[in-house]
Amino acid sequence: MLDAGVHAPAVGDLSDKGADVLLEALPDYPEPLAQAESELWLAARTPLDAARDLLAAARGDDERAPRRRLDAQQTLSLVAPDAEEALREVLDDRQLGGLARVWLAERALPGIPEPSQEMIFWLTVDTLAAQLDSAEEEEATTELRELVQGLTEQHSGFFESAWRVDHPATADVLEAMGRLHPDKKAAKEARKAAFKARSRQSD
């Protein structure tokens, strides 16, 4: 593959690199190789150290940050429960508190504080931004369309709250929802919300 000029990362190349390098590289890996690379990276560290490094590397407001957080969340899903302390340390963090709650809940650990509405909406926008960034054409677009439709069906008045979310990708996500939503009325609401979000960001 290398002789043909195809980028072919060798699994294990990143095991001695920082979490920032791992999360930057994972989007370029096919899914099975990404998991294998993550497992080798984790094997070189204690669960607690690995979780702290991943969480620190997942922070940020740049365009690639939502995708980093998605890859961090997927890598953290492979981490042993011994990492619990690291996840509890970020429960109040605006960018990481949502994914920390998901990790703790998936392991049925006690004492998980209820997230605020603000955190729920922020995590929703962040997750959609990551999905949009990683979407390949048709199949992913279909999944995204179903996700967008499900979100608006579960939360009445979703768009009225979503445009207020203090996330760099809010307007872009709402515009994408306007394109993807199969219901014309909801799609129009999404586009209006995107306009409000853009106006808010420019103020």
| pLDDT digit string, tens, across residues 137-177 | 455 577 788 888 888 888 878 999 999 999 999 999 999 99
pLDDT of res. 101: 97
Given pLDDT bands bounded at 50, 70 and 90, which one contains residue 203?
A: low
Where along the chain do its domains lie?
19-106, 117-202
pLDDT of res. 175: 95
pLDDT of res. 40: 96
Q: Give the distance between the most distant pair of CA atoms in the chain.
A: 54
Which residue is associated with the tokens 């209820």? 114
Share of the chain above pLDDT 70, in %: 92
| CB 31, CB 140: distance < 8 Å | no
Half-sphere exposure (Cβ direction) of 106: Cα atoms closer than 13 Å: 16
pLDDT of res. 9: 60
| pLDDT digit string, tens, across residues 54-85 | 999 999 999 999 999 999 999 999 999 999 99
pLDDT surpasses 50 at 185:
yes
DSSP alpha helices (H): ranges in the chain?
A: 19-25, 31-43, 47-58, 65-76, 84-89, 97-106, 117-134, 138-154, 158-162, 170-180, 184-202
